[in-house]
Amino acid sequence: MTDAKTVSEKPSTKQMADAIRVLAMDGVEKAKSGHPGMPMGMADVATVLFSRFLKFDASRPDWADRDRFILSAGHGSMLIYALLHLTGYKAATKEELSNFRQWGSKTAGHPEFGHMPGVETTTGPLGQGLANSIGFAMAERHLAAKYGDDLVDHRTWVIAGDGCLMEGVSQEAITLAGRYKLNKLTVLWDDNEITIDGKVSLSDATDQKGRFKAAGWAVKAIDGHNEGQIRAALKWATRQDRPTLIACRTKIGRGAATMEGSHKTHGAALGAAEIAATRLGLAWTHDPFELPENIEKAWRKVGRRGAKERKAWEARLAASSQAADFTRAMKGELPDNAFAALDAKMAELVETRPAQATRQSSGAALDELFAAVPELIGGSADLTGSNNTFVKGTPILDAPTYEGRYVNWGIREFGMAAAMNGMALHGGVIPYGGTFMVFSDYSRPAIRLGALMGVRAIHVLTHDSIGLGEDGPTHQPVEHLAALRAIPNLLVFRPADTVETMECWKLALENRDAPSALALSRQKTAAVRTVAASENLSARGAYELRAANGEAKATLFATGTEVPLALKAAETLEAEGTPTRVVSVPCFELFFQQDAAYQASVLGRGTVRVAVEAAIQQGWERFIGEDGGFVGMTGFGASAPAEVLYEKFGITSEAVVAAVKARL
């Protein structure tokens, strides 16, 4: 249905916002599932942002100097899908909108990075998009310091809801942003006073504006449906010297005929009758997913608004002496000869065979990598000296210059991991961050989302077992290896010595489509790689470290500091007449990617199989089978020196020998 007015008249900002409202309620109604209230409530704010402030070009979603728009309140995904469709993103078709939340669609229930161009990060678990934005903003400031404002000069805009601000990670995120004075970061808070259960006051009475002010943010409150106030506030935000919060007082489900302001619009379709009445109230006479021609033209013009600026930027890039390096870094490609110094060091270590903690080995790897891979940005959650994540002489990343490459994250494991995801998604940097492995419990939600998105973020997790000793069971991880290995697309490395640690660092850097977790020991461990190899043996996830003397009758599997125990047990068994082979297993995930023939050759079918790891057994069944033996932990640890703990918990070479003999 059309009329002459819909073709010729220039639409008002409200009419353009109404297009978002109608597309949102239509998409959710078609799916019979979703969240129409937030997109309808924030449509006015989003319209002003996209039409007047956001720097982007819909024809080039990958433009490196575009502004980043993050929908932290990811349940309102129809807001971003509607915006992408209206502004002319090629992939955001009418068909995709009408296929919202269905199998194979790019319009997933919550925005997913990699599915739809224009979606900068996967959101939905509330608060994480806000925390990601800190990493985006930090990466922008660092790269601007490195390459200059001619190549890097953009903002990060976030729409967050009450749920994002209630989640604990929001506190970690906003205090980081305030500390680092990230003035190109603006959070638009959908201050609608509603959650799924009802009024926010049911569960929260926080002065959010006061909280942000206390964290060092500039704060302004506006009517989120007043175009003039929205425009003035967004302009104000661009002039501040610190991050900005704009509290946008809105009505959830704005425009709905009878349900405006109701929590019932939060997480359910409005229903056919309400939608029909809403269309009437908005004077919207078009069928579902159909747009008035004048509104469609106006929105398409918005999508082209940044083309001139993008072309000027491309000209500056082409003329820049840094063009090749900038392009390579943004693509995520490593420099030529990135591993030359590391390879030379590994060749030396095979000869010198140092006995040291693998956390020290990791630090040694970084000593060789840091200069060769200038995109590396490291940090630690206040455990720098313990995690060995600092390379001597590295400048600290800090305001006002941001050129440094080491971040003092503070005691914020979740915030650190989420910001690392944001850094990796932004591009141009490769983030790594350290903490104790037991505190991966705090950062796990961000590690999981990083794995879901396939980002290269490297989590340095030291003090990886009861071997950390006297700090006791609160700090001794026992179930954490199994928990991390349960996350799809996460590479979990537990190297046995310095050479394996360096091999694992290479693999973490080479894998551009998966995050990595390096499980590293506090206590010293003997060198096990004493023969030079022509390939990265850890790349296959598991490999035969020691062959049996004759036809093998037993196969021992081990990781990390338990590999020397397995080697000692094999010596005992061989001396007693039982030919025994030892397999080092630095990475389960890479091993299970190998072909069946290789896996069979490593598993040693037809032999007694026993695994040893100072952790719980879960996950080892694929190596040892139903009848195999396992020497490890069955409960929590205790406070004592490492060597005492290993003896008291029965993680010894003698226990491994006994487990083999019991099965011969």
Contacts with 531 (C-beta within 8 Å, 6 or more apart), sequence order: 350
413 classed as catalytic: yes
In degrees, to the nearest 5, what angle opens at C-alpha 84 toward C-alphas 81 and 86? 105
CA atoms of 621 and 12, how far apart (whole Å): 64
3-state secondary structure of 298: helix
- Phi/psi of residue 430, each to 5°? -120, 105
Cis ω on the peptide bond leading into residue 117 (within 30° of 0)?
no
CA atoms of 388 and 370, how far apart (whole Å): 13
CA distances to 67, 409, 439 from 131, in Å: 17, 13, 18
CA atoms of 494 and 558, how far apart (whole Å): 10
Residue 342 identity (one-letter amino acid): L
CA atoms of 470 and 522, how far apart (whole Å): 11
- Which residues on neighbouring strands pair with residue 156, listed in sequence order? 68, 185
CA distances to 181, 213, 380, 381 from 388, in Å: 27, 34, 9, 12
Copy the structure tokens of residue 62.
């990958």
- Phi/psi of residue 419, each to 5°? -65, -35
In degrees, to the nearest 5, what angle opens at C-alpha 39 toward C-alphas 35 and 43? 170
Q: How many helices (H) and strands (E) does the chain have?
A: 28, 18
- The structure tokens 């590479």 sit at 491
In degrees, to the nearest 5, what angle opens at C-alpha 69 toward C-alphas 142 and 15? 150
Q: In this structure, are residues 44 and 14 in contact, taking their beta carbons and an 8 Å threshold?
A: yes
Among 413, 503, 589, 613, the one annotated catalytic: 413
CB atoms closer than 10 angstroms to residue 544? 16
Contacts with 364 (C-beta within 8 Å, 6 or more apart), sequence order: 345, 498, 501, 502
Q: What value does the CA radius of gyration of the chain take, rounded to a whole number of Å? A: 28
Closest among 121, 242, 248, 230 to 185, alpha carbons compared: 242
CA distances to 55, 130, 336, 347, 532 from 341, in Å: 41, 38, 12, 10, 16
Catalytic residue numbers, as ranges: 413
